[in-house]
Chains A and B, each alone.
Chain A
C-alpha cells in the first residue's frame, strides 16, 4: 500500500518536474538559423565550388593530374609563333591555348588537391556552395574562354604549322640525298 501511494506520488511529481522543464524551454530563444535569410559564417578554409581564373591559366594540366577522381578535363593546343597569348599575373608567359577546361562538380569531391600544384594559383575554392541543378549535365562547368570556333581555329593553325614543319623536315630530309655529291666538288 505504501509503495502504491509512493508510486502515485512519484508519477505525478515527476510529470510536474518534466513540465516545468519544458515550460522553461518555451521561453529559451530558439537556436534555429533561418537559413536562406541568415547564414552561418563559413570557416576560414572552407572548401566549396572551384573557380578557375582563365587569365592566369597556363594549361599545365597539373591540377587535372592531381585530381583523385579525374573530374578536371583539360585540352591544350600549342601556340603558333607570332601569336601573343599575354602573360599571367605573376609574369609568366603563356604558351598554350587552353581549348577545353571542364570541371565536373558531380564528380568533384572537394578535396582541394588540385589547388596546391597550380603554379599560377589560378584554380581556387570559392565560398559558393549552393549550386544544385536539376540535370547532372549542368554540373559540368566549362571554364575555357575560347569559343569552339576559336578553339578549332587554333587547332587548325597548329596543325598547319605542324604540316609546314613536316614539309620542311621532309624537304630537309630530301635535300641531303641529292646534294652530297656536289659538296666534294666544291671542296
Chain B
C-alpha cells in the first residue's frame, strides 16, 4: 500500500501519512463503534436497553460523549509530576497505535510489510506498560499507583504465555511476518491454523487439539494484556476508582479509552491472524468466482474487520459474564496454569511440526 501511494505521489512523507491515516481512522471507528457496542451488549446481556435517547437507539451517544469530553476543563492536581503526567496519555495511545503498522488489513492494505511483524507488535505493546506506570506514578495518587503497579505486574506476567503461543505458531509457519502468516492460511477455513494450517496429512489432524489449547491460552492472556474484565484489576472501579487514570479528565482520559479500545482491536486482529486466517475469507472469494480481481482486497478487508469485531464481541461477552479475579488468582492463573500449558503446547507443536 505504501509502495502504491509512493508510486502515485512520488513523495515519501505524503505517502507515509496517507498510509498512517487508515489505521488511525480504523482506531477511531473502533472506539466509536466499540464503546457503543459495549454499552449495547452489556445492556442486552442484563436485559436492559442501554442508550436509547440520542439518535436512533442511541447511535449518536458516543458523539455526544466525545463532545462532552472535549469541552471538559483540563484539571490536574498540583502534586502531579507535570511532564510525565502529560506525556503518559500520548504514549499509551502511541503504543496501541504503533501495533497497527504491522497488521495486514488485507493483502494490499498493510502499513509496513516488515519481516518481524509479530515480534514488533509484542515489542511495541510493551510501551503500554511503561506509559501506564508513568500515568499511575506521576498522578501522585494512591489509587493510581496501585492500579499502575497491578497493571505492570499483570501485563508483564501475561506476556509470557502470549509469547509462548506465538512462538509455537512461528515454529509451525516458519515466519514472523504477519502478512505471510495470513497468506499461508489461504482460501478456505480448513486451512486456518486453528484447524492445523494448510496442507493435508497426519500432522494437520494431530495439531488441531493443541491449536485449540493454544488459542484458548492466547485469548485469555491477551484479554489480560488489554486490562479487560475478568482481568481488569488495574482499573477495578469498585476498589481503585479508575486505577491508573483516576486523576485524568477530559481529553487525556479519552486518550486512555482510545488506547484501550485500540488495543482490543489490535489484540483481536493478532488472534485472528495467528489462528483464524487473518484477512482470508473462510469460503473463497467472490472476486475469484466472478473474475473481478480488484474486489479481492476489499473482500479481505471485510473479512478481517469481521473477525476482529467478532473477537471484540467475545471480549465484551466475557466481560459481562465473569466477575473480576483477585490479584493472587490472577497470578496463579498465569504462572500455574497458562505458562505450563503453553510450554507443553509449544513442545508438542514443535515435535509435530518436525514430523
Contacts and interface: CB of A to CB of B under 8 A. Distances in A.
A38 B251 CA distance: 36
A19 B318 contact: yes
Contact of A28 (B41, B47, B341): B47
Interface centre among A11, A21, A22 (most CB of B within 10 A): A22
Interface string A8-31: 100110010011011101111111
B44 A21 contact: no
Contact of B44 (A12, A19, A26): A26
Nearest to A8: B337
B48 A18 contact: no
Nearest to B316: A22
Q: Give the interface size class of chain B.
A: 10 to 19
Category for how many chain A residues contact B? 10 to 19
Contact of A15 (B46, B48, B320, B322): B322
A34 B49 contact: yes
Given A8-B337, A15-B322, A19-B317, A25 B52 contact: no
Contacts of A147: none
A182 interface: no
A23 B41 CA distance: 10
Interface in B323-352: 337, 341
Contacts of B52: 34
A186 interface: no
B44 A25 contact: yes
A8 B47 CA distance: 31
A8 B341 contact: yes
Given A8-B337, A18-B322, A25-B44, A30 B49 contact: yes
A32 B49 contact: yes
B336 to A, nearest CB: 8
B43 interface: yes
B220 to A, nearest CB: 9
B90 interface: no
Contact of A22 (B45, B48, B49, B337): B45
Nearest to A14: B322
B48 A25 contact: no
Contacts of A8: 337, 341
Q: Which of A7, A28, A30 has the most CB of B within 10 A?
A: A30
Given A12-B216, A25-B45, A30-B44, 8 more contacts: A7-B337, A18-B321, A19-B317, A22-B320, A25-B47, A26-B45, A32-B47, A34-B49
Interface of A: 7-8, 11-12, 15, 18-19, 21-23, 25-32, 34
